[in-house]
Structure 1
């Protein structure tokens, strides 16, 4: 009996130790992840004097003046409007262009579709730097260099392979009994796609659009190289002004600008989280 108690005690000690180490590791990872975010938020509501007196201290007199200053000095409303246009139009166009290829590669017997799918996915392996010169020459030839429509097309083309990957995987998971019943009723491929696959793929479309929106919103290289006019700059390129000599000794303005630039992404995630989390087909097929 005593041996049993000793073994039970050792198991309890082992479980407690493992749980303690797990929580400790989780706390460390949380601190490493959230520390920079908290520091940026604190810096953004400090005066520059407070920051120089103690970069990691709690602000003695919190102020939102850095937000007002950076909004007015950078013309932040225009930068946000440009980024919203690029992210929304580029993501929507990428999804539209990916819908039909994803349907064909997931639901139809296309000759060589495995090779075609692999060829499309090579677009995910190309770093932005490797396509800058061809893109620059192409846009210049088409007179789309330093234009909003040109950058939207670039974002859409660059994001389309990822959209095909997401939508193909999502459409593949749709039960085939649904479309078989439609074919029995005489439906065409287009009607099956438009009336059945497309509505059931809405959560996948939301996922793809959201991820692409975030990727375009934080994109920097294409905007820097393919745009020259300040009125066309997205927020990531426009914030380069905060690194100029004028702001060399100012730390709260870049922090405030960074916080403002992330608000649309947070709002988008909050609005789409429920749709993303509920993306299932429960009840689509009667048992």
Structure 2
């Protein structure tokens, strides 16, 4: 005698199977996504002889932390971290302030030629940094700002503004016009509306822009490589170049150095990832 399976029990079983399959697929995708970091960590924790003898995909014969100690001194990361931190602490707040002011003007003020200004801002997203390196070097050299850490500030701001304005302008447009109009009726000026209404309501977007700008500033290589030459002015990405010799490369030390340089950014992303997702998606939803 067989027992009939109710339709509800069959549906619940199918849901469990689908959930298990989706979970397994997500775990597989997560492992694939994390595989470069895991491979980098495995290379950084093995000796150079073990790496050369068995290759990067083999299991380490023994683990060592000496690569991280040697990488810190080889890359001169004490100086590089200080330079990158100073540049980031100045550039990121200044970039967020400038981009938020421009985005507010484009989103909420009745400016003449507003569409043309927005078009120019978006045009900045299409300009490759490579074609601007030589003119930038020539201009900064004429004002004696090459091989100067603060000579990077203006180019970083210029290339960072278009993307920041694009995010913030779409977010500021979501601020209800009724609130803005009510504030104007009460006598508030544009600056007060910006500071007291728009900015507090746009905190997720501001945090998102700041986090992405920190990552971009911290990891930028090309302009720093062209404009900086003295070891005392080098930023974190330039410190990684010390692991590349004329005839050989210290791959285990380089892996340790890469992990050292990306650790602050990974920590920021891990702690504030919900702000990034919320800030990037909120401006894209039309209510």
8 A Cα contact 2:207 2:279, kept in partner: no
User: Counterpart in 1 of 2:283?
Assistant: none
User: Counterpart in 1 of 2:264?
Assistant: 264
Output the CA distance in 2 between the equivalents of 1:104 and 1:92. Answer: 18
Do residues 149 (structure 1) and 143 (structure 2) align? no
**Cα-to-partner distance string for 1:200-258 (whole Å, 9 max, x where unaligned):** 22221111111111112121110111111111111111211101147x25321011001
Q: How many residues align?
A: 275
Deviates more, 1:175-184 or 1:257-266: 175-184
Normalising by structure 2, report the TM-score. 0.84
Output the CA distance in 1 between the equivalents of 2:245 and 2:167. Answer: 40
Do residues 56 (structure 1) and 57 (structure 2) align? yes
User: Counterpart in 1 of 2:230?
Assistant: 229
**Cα-to-partner distance string for 1:129-148 (whole Å, 9 max, x where unaligned):** 01111111111122211111
Point out where structure 2 has 5 or more consecutive residues left out of the alignment.
281-287
Measured on the aligned residues, the alpha-carbon RMSD in Å equals 2.8
Show the 5 A alignment for 1:99-248: 99-245=100-246, 248=248
Output the CA distance in 1 between the equivalents of 2:179 and 2:53. Answer: 66
Output the CA distance in 2 between the equivalents of 1:22 and 1:202. Answer: 34
Deviates more, 1:198-207 or 1:20-29: 20-29
Shift of 1:277: 5.7
* Secondary structure of the corresponding residue to residue 58 of structure 1: coil
8 A Cα contact 1:91 1:159, kept in partner: no
Normalising by structure 1, report the TM-score. 0.84
User: Counterpart in 2 of 1:44?
Assistant: 44
**Cα-to-partner distance string for 1:102-159 (whole Å, 9 max, x where unaligned):** 1110011212211210111111111110111111111112221111111022111110
Output the CA distance in 2 between the equivalents of 1:16 and 1:274. Answer: 28
Point out where structure 1 has 5 or more consecutive residues left out of the alignment.
281-287
Output the CA distance in 2 between the equivalents of 1:12 and 1:273. Answer: 33
Shift of 1:23: 6.1
Output the CA distance in 2 between the equivalents of 1:73 and 1:174. Answer: 50
Deviates more, 1:260-269 or 1:30-39: 30-39
Output the CA distance in 2 between the equivalents of 1:114 and 1:105. Answer: 8
Output the CA distance in 2 between the equivalents of 1:76 and 1:143. Answer: 26
Summarize the Cα distance change of 1:200–1:19 in structure 2 as closer, same or farther, 3 Å threshold: closer
Output the CA distance in 1 between the equivalents of 2:279 and 2:210. Answer: 14
Summarize the Cα distance change of 1:43–1:180 in structure 2 as closer, same or farther, 3 Å threshold: same
8 A Cα contact 1:43 1:255, kept in partner: yes
Output the CA distance in 1 between the equivalents of 2:278 and 2:214. Answer: 20
Output the CA distance in 2 between the equivalents of 1:260 and 1:15. Answer: 44
8 A Cα contact 1:87 1:214, kept in partner: no
Output the CA distance in 2 between the equivalents of 1:79 and 1:267. Answer: 19
Output the CA distance in 2 between the equivalents of 1:202 and 1:21. Answer: 38
